[in-house]
Amino acid sequence: MSKVLVTGGLGYIGSHTAVELLARGHQVVIADNLANTRAEVLDGIESISGVRPEWENVDLADQAACAEFLAKHQDLNGIIHFAAHKAVGESVDQPLDYYHNNLGSLVNLLQFAKQKPDCAFIFSSSCTVYGQADDLPIREDAPIKPAESPYGNTKQIGEEIIRDGAKAHGFKAIALRYFNPVGAHPSAKIGELPLGVPQNLVPFITQSAAGLRGALKVFGNDYDTLDGTCVRDYIHVVDVAKAHILAMERLVAGRVEEPVEVFNLGTGTGSTVVQVLNAFTEATGVELKWEFAGRRAGDVVAAFADTKKASEALGWRAELLLTQSMADAWRWQQALASRAGSSS
């Protein structure tokens, strides 16, 4: 059993990863300042796993607060770092907040990793590091293009910081470049929980279907794609979570082949926005109201993953289909509505 810190562990991917870690018998400590989630997510994790992880409300971008927190957990075997602002559009409007939060927290955590080189470090990266790739599907050795958004830039710079730190200080790390995580835990006890207006497509779909939002806006219908809308690789969040456990166990077992390894996490299949809307209706029977709008700053045209490297090195592949993701996301939205109704 390893003791693992999950930063942003009450967030979307972090909470699902905490559940998978607990299922494998690991001890989980969560650091989360509730910037884009709620404390009751901890109840969902406990309900699924039967274990209530230790949680502390701490801002990891605050150097003193981060150091004080880590001083209490000198026996960590691994850190999985999710805590970050993550909305492309918002990052264009608030770039300085994104640089401060996303890079400040990373540097503070790596100061700990520098002193504990045997502590496995996993970085939540993103396909945004590729910018608009020349070739599809995208391989890990694809050229890193100028980022299309400050959010994407924080992931590019973050990976560079980790490489420089590993080279200088001897720790090992894995960066997992997610494509587009969607869905929710099949129990409907945890899922994506955006505060305010959702910045990601699927929670906006489910909130719109539930009558909480107006007609959904599809940004751009004049791209060079099947139907003119952007193409993304939508992967079930449970599949993403499972990859983190395999990556951490690879690091702990000393099987890494270089100081910093990078893996894509996707399905290998691209879907347009319109195809996602249709998949939701197919999975749920709910018709959506949507309309086209102008292009959104920071969006790339198309991105989907080549996942051969993750399959061969980690023994991982995505198993759940897009329709399953949509069904689970809708079940989660209905569970939220049920909770809201019972508490009113």
**Separation between Cα atoms, residue 126 and residue 61, nearest integer Å:** 20
Q: Are 183 and 329 in contact (CB under 8 A)?
A: yes
Alpha carbon distance, N-terminus to C-terminus of the chain: 42
DSSP 116-179: -TTSEEEEEEEGGGG-S-SSSSBPTTS--PPPSSHHHHHHHHHHHHHHHHHHHH---EEEEEE-
> Distance between CA 330 and CA 145 in Å, rounded?
35
Query: For residues 174 and 5, what is the distance between their CA atoms, to the nearest angstrom?
Result: 15
Chain centroid to CA 179: 9
Can you give the length of the chain in residues?
A: 344
- Distance separating alpha carbons of residues 63 and 109, to the nearest angstrom: 9
Catalytic site residue from 12, 98, 130, 151: 151
Query: Measuring CA to CA, which residue among 230, 6, 199 is closest to residue 90?
Result: 199
Radius of gyration of the chain (CA): 19
By the 8 A CB rule, do 125 and 155 touch? yes
CA distance 142 to 210: 40
| Cβ atoms 15, 43 nearer than 8 A | no
Q: Is 178 in the active site?
A: no
Which residues are annotated as catalytic?
151
